[in-house]
């Protein structure tokens, strides 16, 4: 495509596009960079004017304080449990439901597909109080499962799997049937392994949603021993006198797991056709 | 043989999908239908979370109509949405356009930079920008004073505080919409652009006449999702300034949270929730109608 164009017009376009893109990249990257660099400054240097970009005396003091002065390890474990449990359940439930919607034609499946779509219109925020009462009545108040279970049904995940399974040829299903494979074992042994790219994509998305969730855990969790990272960190923000040294280091620490996962699975996220999951 | 096979097939065609969706159905009934029904019922009572739920009819809704705090929260929510949605749209489309353009250099690295804010939780995103825009210690005010200006009251001025949340939300929400736009832009047939080149169209004409119409369905999704999302925003406000200064930037979800959970007026909060739900449905329907009209 580029070869067919005239060469003379390309250079200014290249310079212009690259300049705009990198200007924007600086705008998007700088706040995070400034934050991370600040986390290595000792408490006093954080506020000593004139500000300097690089720390004069780099230190890990903030990190050790963050780790010990509030229950960081405990919050980390809770957050891990929530994110991993919710992600595994979401994948299983979404894959099963998406497969049913893609490969069977019963009328009640179409009705249910409409219901799931409606859940995107009825977001948690609009039924906060009654949802809280339901979860409390089920005995899930102040427990991590109260955070996990209501989050498992996910329209985006279900439709991502549906779109994927629609593209899997029906012949494959017929062949399995002729071989005498039962419907459920066809799903578990053939179809689920086939959908590995979708599983990975949804896993990253789901992990990110749950890792970063704030409002719902805030409502459901009451005891500090059950808190997730976001609630713990929000607690430092809400304190009368914000301890920035701890806050910044704890914030940076809490980002590390997600960034690591993202860097490992980057290609799945970047190629994810999330349109497929959202359009239908 | 034939008989048994067909009988099994018949059974499993009903049974298998039923089993496959059973957990979903159960969760849907428990965590959507049930709360929606009792929420609607509670909105006609003065329930406080414990004891009886005395029936008060439409009183909660009548009271909401006269509640200045509710209007203030609603109005602030609308202003926030009107600011953040267009900004987010322009930024994510612009960045997606640059990331698929054959001209920009260094795209693999830039892509990661643009994507990182999406990984950051709303609480932390708020903290990052609060750190930058601190009134007495922030980098932004430092730079302003170094350049000879006066420090700006980013935290104690309600409008500036709201503006920071708009920036935070745009910064953090761009990556997701950008992914949607990248997928859409890649699907626009190259031959359209080649034909336009032959006709001597310039870059802006090509963008307006070819790109925009071709990605219209994705644009609609992005607009719809980001509007619905913005109307429900809560966390950024907590992290940036705790809805402050004072209660000036308490948006509607914060209002529902405060009345329902801090003041235990579950009936009243439920009524407010249903007003929010009604507004969200109206927004979605209006946008749907607008997109249909444009399409035809």
A vs B, Cβ pairs < 8 A, gives 282
Nearest Cα residue to A67 out of A238, A254, A241, A224 = A254
What is the Cα–Cα distance from A132 to A139, expressed in whole angstroms?
11
CB of B14 closer than 8 Å to CB of B239: no
Smallest CA–CA distance, residue A258 to chain B, in Å, is 6
Contact B20 A97 (CB under 8 A): yes
**Cα–Cα distance for residue pair B134/A271, rounded to 1 Å:** 38
Mutation for A interface: B53, B128, B146, B151, most A CBs within 10 A: B128
The tokens for B114 are 């643009």
Q: Residue B137: what pLDDT?
A: 84
CB-based contact (8 Å) between B142 and chain A? yes
Q: Which residues of A touch B221 (CB under 8 A)?
A: 275, 278-279
Which residues, listed in sequence order, are joined to residue B55 by a DSSP beta bridge? B45
Spans of chain A below 70 pLDDT: 1-9, 270-280
Residue A262: predicted pLDDT: 86
Give A272's contacts (C-beta < 8 A, 6+ positions apart): A201, A205, B179
Question: The complex's ipTM?
Answer: 0.87
Q: pTM higher than 0.95 for the full model? A: no
pLDDT at A229: 94
DSSP characters over chain B: -HHHHHHHHHHHHHHHHHHHHHHHHHHHIIIIIHHHHHHHHHTTB---SSS---B-TTHHHHHHHT-HHHHHHHHHHHHHHHHHHHHHHHHHHHHHHHHH-SS-S-HHHHHHHHHHHHHS-HHHHHHHHHHHT-TTT-HHHHHHHHTT-PPP-TTTSHHHHHHHHHHHHHHHHHHHHHHHHHHHHHTS-HHHHHHHHHTT--HHHHIIIIIHHHTHHHHHHHHHHHHHHHHT--HHHHHHHTT-STTTT--HHHHHHIIIIIS--HHHHHHHHHHHHHHHHHHHHHHHHHHHHHH-
The nearest CA of chain B is from the CA of A214 a distance in Å of: 7
A32 touches chain B (CB under 8 A): yes
User: Which tokens go with A240?
Assistant: 């009368």
**B71 is written with which tokens?**
């209007």
| Model pLDDT for residues A41-59, shown as the tens digit of each residue | 888 788 877 778 888 888 8
Q: Cβ–Cβ of A134/B128 closer than 8 Å?
A: no
| pLDDT tens per residue across span B219-233 | 998 998 899 899 999
Please report residues of A whose CB lies closer than 8 A to that of B223.
Answer: none
The pLDDT, as a whole number, for residue A270 is 67
Does any CB of chain A come closer than 8 Å to the CB of residue B29? no
Is A131 in Cβ contact with B180 (below 8 Å)? no
User: Each residue of B99-133: pLDDT tens digit?
Assistant: 998 888 888 899 999 999 999 999 999 999 999 99
Rounded CA-CA distance B250/B75 in Å is 10
Q: Inform me whether the C-beta atom of residue A209 falls under 8 Å from chain B C-beta atoms.
A: no
**Which of A128, A156, A235, A252 should one mutate to test binding to chain B, selecting the residue with the greatest count of B CBs within 10 A?**
A128
Q: Which residues contact B142 (CB under 8 A, 6 or more apart)?
A: A49, A50, A51
Q: What is the pLDDT of residue B248?
A: 87
Residue of A nearest to B264 (CA): A129
Residues 110-129 on B with a CB inside 8 Å of A are 110-124, 126-129
Widest CA span in chain B: 91
Bridge partners, B45 (sequence order):
B55
- Residue A111's pLDDT is 94
pLDDT single digits (tens) B248-258: 888 999 999 98
Closest partner residue to B101 (CB to CB) among A17, A34, A183 is A17
d(CA A37, CA A58): 9
A262 touches chain B (CB under 8 A): yes
Question: pLDDT band for position B12 (50/70/90)?
Answer: low
The predicted-structure confidence for B163-214, as pLDDT tens digits, reads as follows 999 999 999 999 999 989 998 998 888 899 889 989 888 888 988 999 999 9
pLDDT in tens, B49-104: 888 888 988 999 999 988 999 999 999 999 999 999 999 999 999 999 999 988 88
3-state secondary structure string across chain A: CCCCCCCCCHHHHHHHHHHHHHHHHHHHHHHHHHHHHHCCCCHHHHCCCCCCCCCCCCCCHHHHHHHHHCCHHHHHHHHHHHHHHHHHHHHHHHHHHHHHHHHCCCHHHHHHHHHHHHHHHCCHHHHHHHHHHHHHHCCCCCCHHHHHHHHCCCHHHHHHHHHHHHHCCHHHHHHHHHCCCCHHHHHHHHHHHHCHHHHHHHHHHHHHHHHHCCHHHHHHCCCHHHCCHHHHHHHHHHCCCCCHHHHHHHHHHHHHHHHHHHHHHHHHHHHCCHHHHHHC
CB A79 within 8 A of CB A211: yes
Whether residues B98 and A254 touch (CB distance < 8 A) is answered with: no
**How many Å lie between the alpha carbon of B103 and the closest alpha carbon of chain A?**
4
């Amino acid at each position: 495509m580029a070869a067919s164009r005239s060469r003379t017009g390309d250079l200014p376009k290249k310079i212009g596009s690259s300049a705009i893109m990198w200007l924007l990249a600086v705008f998007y990257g700088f706040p995070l960079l400034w934050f991370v660099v600040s986390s290595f400054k000792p408490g006093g240097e954080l506020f000593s004017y004139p500000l300097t970009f690089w720390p004069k005396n780099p230190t890990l003091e903030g990190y050790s304080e963050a780790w010990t002065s509030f229950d960081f390890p405990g919050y980390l474990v809770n957050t891990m449990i929530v994110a991993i449990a919710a992600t595994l359940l979401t994948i299983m439930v979404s894959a099963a439901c998406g497969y049913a919607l893609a490969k069977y034609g019963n009328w009640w499946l179409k009705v249910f597909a409409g219901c799931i779509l409606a859940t995107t219109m009825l977001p948690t925020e609009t039924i906060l109080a009654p949802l809280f009462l339901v979860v409390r009545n089920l005995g899930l108040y102040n427990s991590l499962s109260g955070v996990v279970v209501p989050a498992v049904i996910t329209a985006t995940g279900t439709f991502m799997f549906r779109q994927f399974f629609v593209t899997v040829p029906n012949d494959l299903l017929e062949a399995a049937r002729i071989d005498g494979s039962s419907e459920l074992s066809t799903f578990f042994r053939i179809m689920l392994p086939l959908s590995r790219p979708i599983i990975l994509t949804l896993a990253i998305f789901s992990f990110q949603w749950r890792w970063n969730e704030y409002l719902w855990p805030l409502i459901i969790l009451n005891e500090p021993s059950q808190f997730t990272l976001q609630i713990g960190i929000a607690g430092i923000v809400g304190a009368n006198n914000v301890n920035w040294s701890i806050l910044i280091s704890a914030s940076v620490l809490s980002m590390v797991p997600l960034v690591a996962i993202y860097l490992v699975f980057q290609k799945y996220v970047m190629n994810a056709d999330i349109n497929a999951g959202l359009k239908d | 043989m034939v008989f048994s096979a067909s009988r099994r097939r018949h059974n499993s065609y009903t049974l298998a999908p039923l089993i496959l969706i059973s957990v979903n159905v159960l969760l849907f009934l428990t965590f959507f239908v049930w709360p929606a029904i009792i929420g609607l019922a509670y909105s006609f009572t003065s329930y406080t979370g414990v004891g009886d739920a005395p029936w008060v009819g439409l009183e909660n809704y009548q009271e909401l109509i006269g509640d200045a705090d509710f209007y203030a929260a609603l109005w602030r929510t609308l202003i926030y949405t009107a600011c953040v949605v267009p900004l987010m749209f322009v930024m994510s489309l612009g960045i997606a356009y640059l990331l698929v353009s054959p001209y920009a250099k260094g795209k693999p690295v830039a892509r990661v930079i643009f994507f990182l804010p999406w990984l950051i939780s709303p609480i932390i995103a708020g903290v990052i920008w609060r750190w930058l825009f601190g009134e007495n210690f922030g980098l932004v005010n430092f730079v302003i004073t170094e350049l000879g200006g006066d420090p700006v009251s980013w935290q104690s001025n309600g409008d500036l505080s709201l503006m920071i949340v708009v920036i935070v939300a745009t910064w953090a929400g761009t990556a997701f919409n950008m992914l949607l736009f990248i997928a859409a832009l890649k699907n626009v047939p190259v031959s359209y652009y080649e034909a336009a080149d032959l006709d001597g169209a310039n870059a802006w004409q090509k963008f307006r006449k070819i790109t925009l119409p071709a990605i219209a369905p994705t644009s609609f999704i992005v607009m719809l999702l980001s509007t619905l999302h913005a109307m429900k925003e809560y966390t950024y406000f907590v992290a940036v300034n705790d809805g402050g200064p004072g209660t000036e930037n308490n948006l509607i979800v914060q209002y529902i949270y405060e009345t329902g959970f801090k003041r235990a007026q579950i009936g009243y909060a439920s009524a407010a929730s249903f007003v929010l739900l009604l507004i969200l449905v109206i927004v979605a329907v209006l946008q749907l109608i607008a997109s249909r009209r444009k399409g035809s």
